[in-house]
């Protein structure tokens, strides 16, 4: 099993989620291949792959790093394939869970109503579908790190401004803004950026208000399995949140090759992933 990692080589004892995952994956039996940290420099990423020995038997691989552009992911996937190595998620599977508008048709009914907007002339039509206030994010990421007012619009002028800001950032939007019905999430208080801290494990710096009852855990797992079955990606993450009513909804899927760990313990995660890959490949 091969790990493509953008952590420093060798990974230090302490560091971010990429470092923590890299160390855990190596401990679980993955062989690491160091890639440059800047995923936009596609040629630099392909050079280490070109130096790999051709595998006599096809080998699975997982990439841990920063979100790459679609063309970069395709190039890395193709270069690995040529050496006998298969990324767990092919480019289509990666994009289906990484870009929300690709996943949404399969998740309708499990996630808040959402409309894709590519032009400011479509803002009023989107508001007519999802209502106001509305949440605005890009196809890949939201701007919640900047604060609540950068993501939520209560009027049409605010919605137009939020959509315009998202569309200006290709890293967040890839040319598409997602306007969503604002879900009333159960929350404890607000974070430093004035974003409500939802119930669950999303906020890595907040250690209270995270315990689930056995019944709640069963509900979450059932929803996660149901949502995952609608998607084609072999490896995916799901953000799930609880409404004030007590019901659970899917916020969005993601590709865990490029997702943060939050409260997830890296060693059990990577040990179980290694076990699953070994079973599927017969190695």
- Domain edge (last residue) among 155, 182, 209: 182
Judge whether 102 lies within some domain: no
DSSP state of 67: P
Same domain, 16 and 85: yes
Write out the chain's pLDDT in tens, 283 residues: 999 999 988 888 888 999 999 999 999 999 999 998 875 566 688 999 999 999 999 999 999 999 999 999 999 999 999 999 999 999 999 999 999 999 999 999 999 999 999 999 999 999 999 999 999 999 999 998 888 888 999 999 999 999 999 999 999 999 999 999 999 988 665 554 555 555 454 555 555 556 778 998 899 999 999 999 999 899 999 999 889 898 999 999 999 999 888 778 999 999 999 999 988 766 5
Distance (Å, rounded) from C-alpha 81 to C-alpha 3?
14
Same domain, 82 and 123: no
How far apart, in Å, are the Cα atoms of 112 and each of 20, 33, 105, 185? 33, 39, 12, 11
- Domain edge (last residue) among 132, 150, 182: 182
| Its pTM surpasses 0.95 | no
Same domain, 178 and 234: no
Peptide bond into 126 cis (omega under 30): no
Q: Helix, strand, or coil here: 41?
A: coil
Strand partners, 61: 2, 87
Residues 6+ apart with CB under 8 A from 55: 83, 84, 85
- Domain edge (last residue) among 182, 200, 233: 182
- Tell me how many domains the chain contains: 3
Q: Helix, strand, or coil here: 182?
A: coil
Same domain, 143 and 81: no
Which structural domain range is residue 136 located in? 113-182
Judge whether 223 lies within some domain: yes
């Amino acid at each position: 099993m091969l790990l493509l990692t953008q952590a420093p080589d060798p990974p230090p004892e302490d560091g971010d989620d990429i470092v923590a995952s890299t160390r855990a994956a190596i401990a679980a039996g993955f062989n690491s291949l160091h890639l440059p940290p800047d995923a936009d420099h596609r040629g630099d990423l392909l050079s280490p792959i070109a130096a790999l020995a051709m595998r006599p038997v096809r080998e699975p691989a997982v990439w841990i790093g920063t979100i790459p552009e679609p063309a970069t992911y395709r190039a890395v996937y193709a270069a690995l394939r040529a050496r006998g190595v298969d990324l767990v998620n092919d480019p289509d599977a990666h994009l289906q869970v990484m870009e929300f508008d690709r996943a949404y048709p399969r998740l309708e009914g499990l996630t808040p109503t959402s409309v894709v907007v590519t032009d400011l002339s479509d803002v009023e039509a989107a508001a007519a579908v999802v209502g106001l206030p509305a949440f605005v994010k890009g196809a890949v990421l939201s701007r919640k790190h900047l604060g609540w007012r950068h993501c939520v619009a209560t009027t049409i002028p605010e919605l137009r401004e939020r959509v315009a800001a998202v569309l200006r950032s290709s890293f967040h939007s890839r040319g598409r803004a997602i306007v969503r019905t604002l879900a009333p999430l159960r929350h404890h208080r607000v974070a430093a950026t004035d974003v409500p801290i939802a119930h669950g494990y999303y906020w890595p710096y907040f250690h209270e208000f995270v315990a689930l009852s056995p019944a709640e855990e069963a509900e979450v797992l059932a929803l996660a399995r149901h949502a995952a079955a609608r998607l084609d990606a072999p490896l995916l993450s799901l953000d799930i949140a609880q409404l004030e009513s007590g019901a659970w909804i899917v916020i969005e899927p993601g590709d865990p090759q490029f997702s943060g760990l939050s409260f997830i313990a890296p060693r059990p995660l990577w040990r179980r992933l290694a076990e699953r890959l070994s079973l599927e490949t017969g190695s």
